[in-house]
């Protein structure tokens, strides 16, 4: 029973695994940029070979960053039933849209073609690739590094008055407050439970009851969040924080030759995934 | 885009983003509905509240934080696609703000309810449209999900938003910081 209230423990944001590998020591900006580019490239690629290469790359990155593959698999495991259901739905009902290629089954509204099978396999593999890639990124880069690199990557946008520093401050505040609110939420759940509220005891089919149970948590959660925001606003203003001022940073990242090399290889890879006409 | 965000904009966007992330990682933000999509969500509510309280830019930023966190935490292949997970979410807060500003003159309560409702619909409709465009769902499945998930989401979204915004108006009467209003 007590495990239901242990929210703050189950939060895995910034689940950094320090193994000091080659991947860990790369410039975080390079990592983030390549992550975005390669995920987009994978999202556009629809060939078997392209996705096999993507899968191989994501497994290789796990090996290179010396992070146990079980971390990646733990992200995939809860998704397996969804993958299977989605694959079945796509297989049975998407044939009409992808009627190209060889027809295998044509029975009533069910039409299974080589193209629809391709769609099913590719979207399942693509999903696993993206889980692996995002796990490697978050496991090998600390949240501080990530927010710094977001700020630094977006800094060219300052020229068009895009609030880069503000965006990165917002991200930092968000990440910083998640554990605080988790603790607050735990307290509230305990307080409500001690007054006789029950959480999660109704069956999953009693949707209305389950929904009503969440109200006494969510509404105070917002109120606590907003009153904490008031405190923070006051604290920042009393220290004369002005948005849009020029600031220097405590930690400065240096992009070395090896970072440029990795960046080049990664961009080339993404280019190939998007534009190379894979035969299969 | 506004020239620069105020301290209030920054902090409120950050805090609401934190709530959106928290609702996602604790699974509290999911209402279990037995459909193909699995769960209805209430995680878009911070984006709506951000839009109502601080305007379209904050709504957009909170929406982006929600989108990115749902992209990173997704266990469904559908939401591991950035075009489905992130892009539609940007418009939630903006739509909510437009409705709120349009109706505020007539009746405050009605404006909050309507903008929560429209904000939720924006999320449902745009995500499902992207899902169909990207071939994760067929139009027929998308319609059923839209009706079975969209309606409970819209109702819950309206109730929670109204409660939070009304409570906020009470807190707001004795705001601690007086500077933000002048800036």
CA distances from residue B101 to A183, B95, B118 in whole angstroms, order as listed: 35, 10, 13
Cα A27 to Cα A253: distance, rounded to the nearest angstrom:
7
Question: Is residue B183 pLDDT above 60, yes or no?
Answer: no
Determine the average pLDDT of the residues in A251-279: 84
Cβ distance of B22 and A236 shorter than 8 Å: no
Q: Which residues contact A253 (CB under 8 A, 6 or more apart)?
A: A27, A28, A29, A148, A149, A152
Chain B interface test: which of A98, A139, A211 (most B C-beta within 10 Å): A211
Judge whether B167 lies within some domain: yes
> Among B4, B17, B135, whose Cβ lies nearest the Cβ of A244?
B4
Q: Where are the domains of chain A?
A: 15-161+252-280, 164-243
> Is B28 in CB contact (< 8 Å) with chain A?
yes
The answer to whether B3 touches A233, Cβ cutoff 8 Å, is no
Q: pLDDT class for A1, splitting at 50, 70, 90?
A: very low
| Total domains present in chain B | 1
User: How many Å separate Cα B127 from the centre of its chain?
Assistant: 12
Judge whether B183 lies within some domain: no
Question: Is residue B45 pLDDT above 70, yes or no?
Answer: yes
Judge whether B182 lies within some domain: no
* Mean confidence (pLDDT) of chain A: 79
What pLDDT sits at residue B99?
A: 92
What pLDDT sits at residue A189?
A: 84
Q: pLDDT class for A177, splitting at 50, 70, 90?
A: confident
Determine the average pLDDT of the residues in A174-193: 85
What pLDDT sits at residue A272?
A: 87
Question: Is residue A208 pLDDT above 90, yes or no?
Answer: no
Judge whether B102 lies within some domain: yes
> Is B6 in CB contact (< 8 Å) with chain A?
yes
Chain B interface test: which of A225, A236, A240, A247 (most B C-beta within 10 Å): A225
Cβ distance of A223 and B167 shorter than 8 Å: yes
Cα A185 to Cα B73: distance, rounded to the nearest angstrom:
20
- Better pLDDT: A234 or A6: A234
The alpha carbons of chain A give a radius of gyration, in whole angstroms, of 24
Q: pLDDT class for B182, splitting at 50, 70, 90?
A: very low
Cβ distance of B136 and A43 shorter than 8 Å: no
Q: Which segment, A103-107, A275-279, B12-16, is predicted with the most confidence on average?
A: B12-16
Chain A residues within 8 A of B78 when measuring between CB atoms: 86
What pLDDT sits at residue B173?
A: 59
Q: Which of A141, A153, A148, A142 is nearest to A169 (CA)?
A: A148
Chain A residues within 8 A of B15 when measuring between CB atoms: 173-174, 177, 225-226, 228-229, 232
Task: Check which CATH number belongs to the domain holding B68 and give it.
Answer: 1.10.1760.20
DSSP per position, chain B: --S---HHHHHHHHHHHHHHHHHHHTSTTEEE--STT-EEE-TTHHHHHHHHHH-HHHHHHHHHHHHHHHHHH--SGGGGSHHHHTGGGHHHHHHHHHHHHHHTTT-HHHHHHHHHHHHHHHHHHHHHHHHHHTTSS-HHHHHHHHHHHHHHHHHHHHHHHHHHHHHHHHHHHT-S--HHHH-
Question: Is residue B27 pLDDT above 80, yes or no?
Answer: no
What pLDDT sits at residue A156?
A: 82
pTM > 0.80: no
Question: Is residue A5 pLDDT above 70, yes or no?
Answer: no
Lowest mean pLDDT among A23-27, A97-101, A138-142, A149-153: A97-101
What pLDDT sits at residue A2?
A: 46
Range of the structural domain that residue B96 is part of? 7-171
3-class DSSP state of A103: strand
Cβ distance of B77 and A40 shorter than 8 Å: no
Determine the average pLDDT of the residues in A40-58: 86
> Among A85, A94, A231, whose Cβ lies nearest the Cβ of B135?
A94
First-to-last C-alpha distance (Å) of chain A: 52
d(CA B13, nearest CA chain A) in Å? 6
Lowest mean pLDDT among A171-185, B24-38, B64-78: B24-38
Chain A residues within 8 A of B61 when measuring between CB atoms: 167, 170
């Amino acid at each position: 029973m007590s495990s239901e209230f242990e929210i703050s423990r189950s939060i895995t944001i910034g689940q950094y695994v320090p193994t000091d590998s080659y991947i860990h020591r790369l410039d975080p900006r390079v990592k983030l940029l390549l992550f975005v580019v390669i995920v987009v490239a994978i999202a556009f690629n629809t060939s078997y070979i392209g996705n096999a290469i993507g899968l191989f790359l994501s497994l290789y990155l796990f090996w290179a960053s010396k992070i146990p593959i079980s971390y990646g698999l733990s992200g995939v495991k809860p998704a397996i039933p969804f993958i299977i259901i989605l694959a079945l739905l796509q297989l049975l009902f998407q044939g009409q849209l992808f009627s190209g290629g060889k027809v295998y089954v044509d029975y009533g509204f069910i039409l299974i073609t080589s193209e629809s099978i391709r769609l099913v396999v590719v979207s399942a593999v693509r999903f696993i690739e993206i889980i692996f890639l995002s796990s490697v990124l978050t496991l090998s880069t600390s949240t501080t590094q990530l927010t710094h690199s977001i700020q630094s990557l977006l800094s060219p946008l300052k020229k068009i008055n895009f609030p880069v520093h503000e965006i990165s401050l917002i991200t930092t505040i968000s990440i910083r407050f998640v554990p605080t609110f988790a603790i607050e939420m735990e307290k509230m759940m305990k307080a409500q439970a001690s007054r006789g509220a029950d959480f999660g005891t109704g069956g999953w089919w009693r949707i209305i009851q389950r929904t009503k149970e969440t109200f006494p948590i969510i509404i105070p959660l917002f109120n606590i969040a907003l009153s904490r925001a008031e405190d923070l606003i006051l604290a920042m203003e009393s220290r004369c924080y002005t948005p849009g001022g020029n600031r220097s940073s405590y930690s400065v990242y240096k992009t070395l030759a090896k970072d440029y090399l990795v960046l080049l290889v990664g961009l080339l890879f993404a280019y190939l995934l998007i534009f190379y006409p894979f035969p299969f | 885009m506004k020239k620069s965000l105020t301290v209030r904009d920054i902090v409120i966007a950050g805090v609401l983003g934190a709530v959106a992330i928290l609702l996602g990682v604790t699974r509290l933000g999911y209402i279990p509905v037995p459909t193909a999509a699995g769960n209805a969500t209430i995680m878009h509510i911070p984006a709506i509240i951000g839009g109502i309280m601080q305007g379209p830019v904050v709504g957009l930023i909170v929406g982006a934080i929600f989108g990115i966190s749902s992209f990173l935490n997704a266990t469904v292949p559908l939401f591991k696609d950035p075009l489905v997970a992130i892009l539609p979410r940007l418009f939630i807060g903006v739509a909510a703000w437009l409705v709120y500003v349009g109706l505020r003159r007539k009746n405050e309560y009605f404006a909050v309810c309507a903008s929560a409702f429209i904000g939720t619909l924006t999320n449902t409709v745009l995500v499902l449209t992207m899902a169909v465009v990207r071939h994760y769902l067929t139009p027929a499945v998308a319609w059923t999900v839209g009706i079975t998930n969209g309606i409970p989401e819209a109702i819950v979204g309206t109730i929670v938003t109204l409660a939070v915004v009304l409570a906020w108006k009470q807190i707001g009467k004795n705001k601690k910081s007086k500077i933000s209003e002048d800036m």
